[in-house]
Chain A
Amino acid sequence: MTVNGERRAVEVKDNELLLDVLRDKLYVKSVKAACWKGECGLCTVLLNDLPVKSCMVLAMEADGADVKTAEYFIKNGELAPVQRSFIEHGALQCGFCTPAFSLAAHHLLQRNPNATREEIKEYLSGIICRCTGYKQIIEAVEDARKYYQK
């Protein structure tokens, strides 16, 4: 598969989860493992440019696929607009959920740069933050809309 723009070959067992292969075999550590049940959303990755929870995907299902994680959006040391917006708004405390939120938000704003506050809330409702509450996160995404409106 292609991981963050690089072709990677890795041997996996039929019963391995994409989440575990990314973290333990390819050392992509921005993908967090927390509930393993598809509930917390912290293992979100872009699989063929669609945000999905990687604990609910077999590694075999991603054979030949394109996988992007938060690392992908750092270009020459520069963060993506939505990631910068998270910093500006203090939309994180421990940071554990930030890669997942920023990936899903990036996808939403690319598809719909005029997403309303309600649409943003709905789209991110499958990801859990246990520190901040969601106010700053939603505001960060709302504010980042301007970078995606062209």
Chain B
Amino acid sequence: MSSPYFTLPEFRYTKPKTIEEVVKVLDEYGENARILAGGIGLISFMKERLLSPQVVIDIKGIPELRRIEYVEGNGLHIGAAVTIAELQGFLGERVEIGNKYRALSEALPQISDSLIRNRSTLIGNICEALPYMDGYPPLIAFDAKLHSVSVKGEREIPVAEFMKGLAETELKTDEFITHVTVPEPPEGAVSGFTKFSSHSEFSATAIAALIRWSERRDERIARISYGSVSDTPILLQEAGEIFRGEGSIDSMIDRVVETALSEINIISDLYATADYRRRLIEVLTRRLLVRLFKEVIG
């Protein structure tokens, strides 16, 4: 068949063995070259003719991009070619690390389905840059950093600043992401992820939170991130201030909900109306924060 949706536009496939070779092709072709890791995003976009690159660069032959590593004190390193299933396996087999990055451990099995996760990558999820990508909230809660490379050199981009709009990112056409680093969570912090989706695998609302509670107010940390509720994923900047302020935990949770509802520019789309999302934000925020506070103060 030659109609779109069933076929791909013509391109040249290449599978380099080093990062230097990838960077060279990107420098020559710019936006006419696209990176292929799991292919879930790229192949879908090509079938719909949203993308018609001249060159497709398969990065799965580069050993360093397949690396997953945890170094005490430094945190997690996840290569661009690591599949979500491999990452699930890594965190699942190492209970202590899996618990340390609980929000991520909880999000991964909720991304798409197990057969797709055997192929798709966490960094591909981020680079696809749709508002519904569930990789964003947990990575933002942990303040993860993307590492990109081009002929000009390397740079670091916080996940929270990466997505600029629908399928638009901070990435220049001559660079690509090699890995993401997820820093060691603050001592004593707990985290979690929850989402709601209906009629679709795309979330209607997703939330990840990292909380460190302490009697000393200046030691309290709260990073709360929402996905699927606005054009780009959101880090709720005010959450830390709210928890460092006065009042009972219940009243703090109330204020987080109020702030989320007033600060986020909530969208209506195929998956949910803005009004429905407002209710989901309230319910999911309370549910997640109550669960996390039970963990830290019993």
Contact = CB atoms under 8 A, between A and B. Distances in A.
B109 interface: yes
Contact of B118 (A14, A16, A51): A51
A37 B5 contact: yes
Nearest to B120: A56
Contacts of A58: 8, 13, 36, 39, 43, 56, 58
B74 interface: no
B10 A56 contact: no
Contact of A14 (B56, B60, B114): B56
Interface in A11-66: 13-17, 36-38, 41, 44, 50-53, 56-58, 60-61
Contact of B9 (A15, A36, A52, A60): A15
Contact of A126 (B5, B109, B115): B115
B76 interface: no
A57 B119 contact: yes
Contacts of A17: 8, 43
A104 B115 contact: yes
Contact of B115 (A15, A37, A61, A127): A127
B77 interface: no
Contacts of B5: 36-37
Please indicate which of the listed interface residues A37, A44, A51, A61 has the most CB atoms of chain B within 10 Å of its own CB: A61
B132 to A, nearest CB: 15
A78 interface: no
A14 B13 contact: yes
Contact of B116 (A16, A36, A56, A61): A56
A44 B12 contact: no
Nearest to B55: A14
Please name the 4 residue pairs, one residue from A and one from B, whose CB atoms are nearest each other, closest first: A126-B113, A14-B13, A15-B8, A126-B115
